[in-house]
Amino acid sequence: MAALLPWIEEHLHEELSLPILARQAAMSTRTLSRRFRQQMGASPAQWISQARVRHAQLLLETTRLSVEEIARNSGFGSSTVMRECFKRIVGTNPLAYRCAFNAGDSPR
C-alpha cells in the first residue's frame, strides 16, 4: 500500500475503480481488497471517499472555488454526490464548513 496511497492521492480527480487500483498495485482485485482493508481499516472505496473529502476540505479552507469546482477537482461525480459524502463524513455540508472555518480566521 505504501506506493498505492500516494498514487491515489495524486489521482483523486480521476475515476478510481477497484480494477484500476488493482492494476496499479499489480495484484488481483480480491487480494487488493483484502490487503487494503487489513492495512488501512477501510475498503478502498471508503478510503478514497475520505481522501476526497480531505481534499475538498483543504480547497474549502484555502480557495474561493465554488462547491461545483471543488467537487470536480476532488473527483466527485457531481456537487450533489460531494455534499452527501461530505455531510456523512464531516457532519456538515461544504458551505457550512467553509463558513465555520472562515469564521475562525476572522480578526479579533
* CATH code for the domain in which residue 71 is found: 1.10.10.60
Dihedrals φ, ψ of 105, to 5°? -95, -5
Q: Report the number of distinct structural domains present in the chain.
A: 1
CA–CA separation, 100 and 3 (whole Å): 35
How would you class 41 by CB atoms within 10 Å of its CB: exposed for 0-12, middle for 13-18, buried for 19 or more? Answer: exposed
pLDDT in tens, 41-76: 999 999 999 999 999 999 999 999 999 999 999 999
Q: What is the pLDDT of residue 103?
A: 78
35 has pLDDT over 50: yes
* pLDDT bracket for residue 1 (50, 70, 90): confident
